[in-house]
Amino acid sequence: MHVNTLLKWNKRMAIVYATGVWTMIGTFIFYKYTGRYEDMPVKKEEEVPLPEDKTQLLFLTEHSKVVMVYSKDFVPYTTRIYNFISSFDNPGRDK
C-alpha cells in the first residue's frame, strides 16, 4: 500500500467517524430539546402466582396470559414413539 493511498483511506475513515459521532450527538440534543428523551419509569415485575395444581403451567407476558393444563397420566409423544420402536427389539415376556 502506498503512502498516498494510506493517507486517502485515513482521511475518508476520519470523515465517516466524525459524521457518525456528530449524528449521534445531534440526535441526542434534538431528543433532549424536544422532550422525547425523558427518563422512563422502571416497570416493576408482577408477582406470578404459583399454580396450586402441579399439572398446570402459567406463562405471563405483557400482552398475554397462557395456562397450560396437562392430564394426570400424560405420556409425551416422543416417549410413546420410543417405547413402540424399542418394543421390536425386546422379545417380550414370552421367554
Average pLDDT over the chain, rounded to an integer: 82
8 A C-beta contact, residue 70 and residue 55: yes
6-52 pLDDT, tens digit each: 999 999 999 999 999 999 999 999 888 887 767 667 777 666 666 67
Alpha helices in the chain (DSSP H): 3-34, 77-86
Please measure the distance between the N-terminal and C-terminal CA atoms of the chain and give it in whole angstroms: 82
pLDDT of residue 26: 94
Question: Could you tell me the pTM of the whole model?
Answer: 0.37
Q: Percentage of residues in the chain with pLDDT exceeding 70?
A: 80
Does residue 3 have a pLDDT over 80? yes
